[in-house]
């Protein structure tokens, strides 16, 4: 195999494993939320509120980290982010396994969130810039599909081991990944910017025109329904099971595992279809439609059996499995000098959208109930996603070797 092809495959593997660790940690909290909070003394009636607090702290960290790592990736290179983010995450995750109070837990989830925020954006940016434009979608598809398998491993580790051990495992995986990254080379597109009198990693370039602003926020909005499903419906599956009168209640670890098996299948399918059809937008539109259908089934099916509930989690995962295409769209919308900033901030703002969505969910819950409140937030997220999709250009096969000035 020629040297340059070997380097491409190494970069894809490292980016995929970085996303694997990213997803492992994000989903691990959903799996160990209840037992970890009980272990540090949280009362039964506070499990939901304290769980939301910790989730929001993690997502707030990712919002901040997305901005910091994105700008650093455009100023200092994609590799600087791949190294720095995983190091911070690894230390924070090991310390997560040592907490004994909600306060310490919250601080470390925030720090871990900052660390994780750079993984996906830097990896996708690097892979997108080194793969031929005609097959770019396959590269990002591989990264997303392998990465999502981290959720399945998180479900298994969280179920088989003590919650503290599960956090230690995540931290050790991050440290091992640091060693593997020694063999990855920087993007030639980024290297070509060195010495040029161009602004790099500037948020002002994103907001330099109405068209750029519209494109940027449209990228975010098309991904929000994915994290409504993961951050609300699946993370709080026991609470929804209770509202739907399911007996016994759903196990959050199993719900997460089935959802992410579906996500892996969906990402594989959406990536292949986007390449075969030569369109990113058509695929996102179709998967958004399916997401709406299966959310309706999840919320409105009267007294479903536990088995039916789990199968719908799998279906929801497949329907929201357009994450790879969504992130690829984001990285293809802007020039090389701000590409890392866009590609890193967009998915983290999508993840961070769980904060306002969970706020709205809890705000409307007393008046509308668990099901009604979730239905309202779901309708808002999907409606805005469809509206935003029409403002994005079709980027399949687009040449990325250009800059924003």
pLDDT, tens digit (0-9, with 9 covering 90-100), for 273-325 = 999 999 999 999 999 999 999 999 999 998 899 999 999 999 999 999 999 89
What pLDDT does 1 receive?
A: 44
Which of 10-14, 228-232, 386-390 bottoms out in mean pLDDT, i.e. has the lowest? 10-14
- Which of 67-71, 130-134, 218-222 is predicted most confidently? 218-222
Mean pLDDT of 334-353: 89
Q: Work out the burial of residue 144: count CB atoms within 10 Å of its CB; fewer than 13 is exposed, 13-18 middle, 19 or more buried.
A: buried
Find out whether 107 and 230 touch, Cβ atoms under 8 Å. no
Residues 198-208: tens digit of each pLDDT = 778 777 888 88
pTM comes to 0.85
At residue 243, the pLDDT reads: 93
Q: Where are the domains of the chain?
A: 3-389
Of 73, 61, 391, 99, the C-alpha closest to 219 is 391
Give the per-residue pLDDT at 192.
Answer: 83
**pLDDT tens-digit map of 97-137:** 999 999 999 999 999 999 988 888 888 888 888 888 888 88
Return the structure tokens found at 9: 């495959």
pLDDT at 59: 80
265: exposed, middle or buried (Cβ count in 10 Å: 0-12, 13-18, 19+) = middle
pLDDT at 60 (0 to 100): 85
Q: What's the pLDDT at 3? A: 62
Q: Is the peptide bond before 248 cis (omega within 30 degrees of 0)?
A: yes
Q: Is the pLDDT reported for residue 195 higher than 70?
A: no
* Cβ–Cβ < 8 Å for 325, 394: no
Joined tokens for residue 28: 């691990």
DSSP 8-state class, residue 280: S
Alpha-carbon distance of 59 to 318, in angstroms, equals 23
| Cα Rg, the chain, nearest whole Å | 20
pLDDT at residue 382 is higher than 90: yes
pLDDT at 351 over 90: no
Tell me yes or no: is domain 3-389 CATH 1.20.1250.20.
yes
- Distance, in Å, from the CA atom of 300 to the CA atom of 360, rounded to the nearest integer, reads 19
Average of per-residue pLDDT values in the chain: 89
The pLDDT-based confidence of 248 (bands split at 50, 70, 90) is very high
DSSP string, 253-270: HHHHHHHHHHHHHHHHHH
State the pLDDT at residue 197: 63
Are 170 and 21 in contact by the 8 Å Cβ rule? The answer is yes
Closest to 344 in 3D by CA, of 187, 60, 125? 125
pLDDT at 344 over 60: yes
Distance of CA 375 to the CA centre of its chain: 22
């Amino acid at each position: 195999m020629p040297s340059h092809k070997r380097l491409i495959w190494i970069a894809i593997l490292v980016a995929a494993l970085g996303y694997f660790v990213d997803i492992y940690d994000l989903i691990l909290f959903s799996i160990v939320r209840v037992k970890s909070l009980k272990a540090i003394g949280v009362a039964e009636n506070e499990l939901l509120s304290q769980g939301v607090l910790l989730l929001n702290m993690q997502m707030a960290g990712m919002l901040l980290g997305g901005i910091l790592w994105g700008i650093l990736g455009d100023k200092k290179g994609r590799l600087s982010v791949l190294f720095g983010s995983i190091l911070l995450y690894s230390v924070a995750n090991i310390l997560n396994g040592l907490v004994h109070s909600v306060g310490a837990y919250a601080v470390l989830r925030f720090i871990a969130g900052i660390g994780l925020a750079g993984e996906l954006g830097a990896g996708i940016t690097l892979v997108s810039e080194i793969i031929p434009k005609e097959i770019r979608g396959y590269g990002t598809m591989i990264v997303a599909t392998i990465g999502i398998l981290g959720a399945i491993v998180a479900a298994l580790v969280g179920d088989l081991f003590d919650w503290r051990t599960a956090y230690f495992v995540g931290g050790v995986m991050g440290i091992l990944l640091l060693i593997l990254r020694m063999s990855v080379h920087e993007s030639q597109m980024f290297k070509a910017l060195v010495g040029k009198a161009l602004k790099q990693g500037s948020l002002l370039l994103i907001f330099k025109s109405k068209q750029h602003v519209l494109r940027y926020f449209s990228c975010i909005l098309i991904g929000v329904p994915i994290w409504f499903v993961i951050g609300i419906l699946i993370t709080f599956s026991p609470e929804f099971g209770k509202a739907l009168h399911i007996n016994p209640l759903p196990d959050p670890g199993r719900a997460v595992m089935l959802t992410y098996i579906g996500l892996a299948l969906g990402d594989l399918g959406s990536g292949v279809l986007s390449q075969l059809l030569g369109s990113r937008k058509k695929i996102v539109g179709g998967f958004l439609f399916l997401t709406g259908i299966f959310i309706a089934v999840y919320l409105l099916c009267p007294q479903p059996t536990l088995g039916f509930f789990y199968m719908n989690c799998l279906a929801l995962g497949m329907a929201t499995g357009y994450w790879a295409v969504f992130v690829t769209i984001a990285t293809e919308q802007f020039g090389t000098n701000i590409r890392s900033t866009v590609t890193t901030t967009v998915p983290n703002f999508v993840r961070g959208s769980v904060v306002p969505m969970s706020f709205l969910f809890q705000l409307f819950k007393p008046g509308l109930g668990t099901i009604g409140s979730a239905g309202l937030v779901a309708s808002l997220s999907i409606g805005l996603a469809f509206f935003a999709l029409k403002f994005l250009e079709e980027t399949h096969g687009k040449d990325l070797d250009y800059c924003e000035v």
